Amino acid sequence: MAHQDAIAYQSHDHHHCIEGAMKAARQLCRQRGVQLTGQREAVLRLVWQSHRPVGAYDLLGQLPDNRNGRKPAPTTVYRALDFLREHGLVHRLDSLNAYIGCPHPGQQHDGVFLICRHCRHVQELPGERVRQTLKPLLTAQGFSPDALLMEIPGVCPRCQQDGEGA
């Protein structure tokens, strides 16, 4: 189990998360014969600055000026996000119009997210078990699902603890 899966809720060495994600990305792109260019790497690194979702225009604002000394246009960040999503490095959270790094990229997988409404921490769950438990329900409907998409708002363990008695 990867570092960020285990203790993301706790205080932790987040550089570890970032560098782990970047390393995994480099490796994955090498394997697939695609380029993790400067822009793409920059966007991925920005996305990984926290375990909270980030908006596209937030990312855009944090990107450095290009060599012409100008701010990049929206297309820039959307293209990078498209690439990263295509290769499973980043997910989009539809309920928030925002993006977050995938802690176990590579395999095509479901998107099951626990979103803390207090601290905005996002925890991605492996969809396999959810999919298993849901399978009977779905087949009972005669429905053939492509991929699960779940964004569950609530309160994370950390914030429950902090908020006790409040």
Partner DNA sequence: AAAGTGATGTTATATTGTTACATTATACCT
Partner DNA sequence: AGGTATAATGTAACAATATAACATCACTTT
Asked if 149 is part of the footprint of a second copy (rule: CB under 8 A), the reply reads yes
Rounded Cα distance between 139 and 153, Å, is 26
Q: What is the dihedral of CA 104, 107, 112, 113, to 10 degrees?
A: 30
Question: With CB cut-offs between 5 and 8 Å by kind, which of Zn ion, a second copy, DNA, none does residue 144 bind?
Answer: a second copy
User: Are 47 and 62 in contact, with CB atoms under 8 Å apart?
Assistant: no
Q: How far is the CB of 43 from DNA (least distance, A)?
A: 9
Q: Which does 14 bind (CB under 5 to 8 A by kind): Zn ion, DNA, a second copy, none?
A: Zn ion
Q: In whole angstroms, what is the distance from residue 61 CA to residue 137 CA?
A: 44
d(CA 101, CA 36): 15
Contacts to a second copy from residues 112-141, by CB under 8 A = 114, 116-117, 123, 125, 129-130, 133-134, 137-138, 141
Smallest gap from residue 18 Cβ to DNA (A):
20
Taking CB within 5 to 8 Å according to partner kind, which of Zn ion, a second copy, DNA, none is near residue 87?
none
Task: Determine if 70 is a binding residue for a second copy (CB under 8 A).
Answer: no
The three-class DSSP label of residue 61 is helix
The reply on whether position 76 binds DNA by CB under 7 A is yes
Nearest residue (CB) to a second copy, 84 versus 114: 114
Should residue 165 be labelled a site residue for a second copy when binding is judged by CB under 8 A? no
Of the candidates 135, 31, 143, 140, the residue with the CA atom closest to the CA atom of residue 88:
31
| Minimum CB distance to DNA smaller for 35 or for 139 | 35
Distance between CA atoms of 96 and 115, rounded to whole angstroms?
Answer: 10
For the bound state, the minimum distance from the C-beta of residue 33 to a second copy, rounded and expressed in Å, comes to 29
Residue 129's alpha-carbon distances to 6, 91, 118, 148, in angstroms, are 17, 19, 26, 11
- The structure tokens 């429950």 sit at 160
Which residues contribute to the site for DNA (CB under 7 A)?
Answer: 34-35, 37-40, 55-57, 66-68, 70, 72-76, 78-80, 83, 92, 97
